[in-house]
Amino acid sequence: MQKRKLGNSGLEVSALGLGCMGMSFGYGSVGDKKEMIRVIRAAVEQGVTFFDTAEVYGPFINEELVGEALTPFKRDAGVRLVIATKFGFKPTVAGETRWGGLDSRPQHIKAVAEASLKRLNIESIDLLYQHRVDPEVPIEEVAGAVKDLIQEGKVKHFGLSEAGAETIRKAHAVQPVTALQSEYSLWTREPEKVIIPTLEELGIGLVPFSPLGKGFLTGQMNENTTFEGNDFRKILPRFTPEALKANQALINLLNKIASAREATPAQIALAWLLAQKSWIVPIPGTTKLSRLAENNGAVNIGLTKEELYEIDTALAQIEVVGARYPEHIARMTGR
């Protein structure tokens, strides 16, 4: 596994991380705990050193899962793991699994960090993100609270998720931002307009979540695909039968490149992201050992300039159908 540094921070991680959310939350039925631990530990064995979780995933159980799975490696001097987690939401009622509004008050941030440390069974959080920008709390206060945690040794690096350029600049002026986590993929390219140039200017890394389009870019979906239980893709405009059918043009493109390279569509989608900037570190998620190995194989593909040009030229002729989020969720992004 190749290594990359997130911007100018010096934080070195594997070129691909592992997004752990889907093991406990968001995509229908929860994975078998023992099997999910196997997947996480297999990731370490394959060279992955960057793991992404959050208190809201579950809630709480995903942090506990990641903490338990990685415990055997924490004392291995030859393995430098980087665990990222997030703050910023509040439960509606104590003990419930539903979550309420945003809460990035400094006192709440510090309480969440303490709880996350215990669940993850670590002494310091490597990368602590604000999960979503809270319009009720000035970002300078948020950055100041994380700065305090860094000075106390409880956190090492500060991150933001789905933040707009102005927010990034304001936060960075108080406490240097190591990484921005936002959705970025072949069918979500909005960050290229303003966000990526801002990150490049400030020396901040980009951690794309959903780099495989929440599963769509694997090429395994069509208009007949259904989603079970509480799979949140049920409410996403891009996952209606009509949108899935219309967006197959993207899959046709990926299949063409993948066939020529004896690769899979998912590997080409990840290789394309890796080729954009040297400080971009995607975090594909999976619950399957086979998919883990497939995804990690993307680091060895190395798309040529000609292939990248072919992809970009083709993408310019493809209009992605369907919004990324419904309006009530979209309002929480890009602030």
- Distance of CA 175 to CAs 40, 142, 255, 303, 317, Å? 31, 9, 43, 36, 41
Residue from 27, 57, 129, 184 carrying the catalytic annotation: 57
pTM (2 d.p.):
0.96
pLDDT, residue 79, reads: 82
Cβ atoms of residues 303 and 275 within 8 Å: yes
Confidence of residue 174 (pLDDT cuts 50, 70, 90): very high
- Distance of CA 95 to CAs 7, 53, 54, 99, 103, Å? 38, 19, 17, 10, 17
For 195-270, strand residue ranges (E) read 205-209
| Residue at 326 is within a domain | no
| Residue at 108 is within a domain | yes
57 catalytic? Reply is yes
Provide the percentage of residues in the chain whose pLDDT is more than 90: 90
| Residue at 315 is within a domain | no
The angle that helices 61-70 and 106-120 make with each other, rounded to 10 degrees, is: 40
Round to whole Å and give the CA distance between 145 and 109: 7
pLDDT tens digits for 61-96? 999 999 999 999 977 767 899 999 999 998 655 555
Range of the domain at 46: 3-213+276-301
Residue 184 has pLDDT above 90, yes or no: yes
Mean pLDDT of the chain: 95
Cα angle vertex 58, ends 57, 61, to 5°?
Answer: 100
pLDDT tens digits for 252-264? 999 999 999 999 9
pLDDT, residue 294, reads: 98
Number of domain units in the chain: 1
Round to whole Å and give the CA distance between 271 and 12: 19
pLDDT, residue 93, reads: 55
Query: What is the DSSP code (8-state) at residue 185?
Result: B
Pairing status of strand 89-91 against strand 18-19: unpaired
CATH number for 26: 3.20.20.100
Cα angle vertex 184, ends 110, 328, to 5°?
Answer: 65
The angle that helices 139-151 and 106-120 make with each other, rounded to 10 degrees, is: 40
Residue 232 has pLDDT above 60, yes or no: yes
| Residue at 238 is within a domain | no
pLDDT tens digits for 284-305? 999 999 999 999 999 999 999 9
Query: What is the DSSP code (8-state) at residue 275?
Result: H
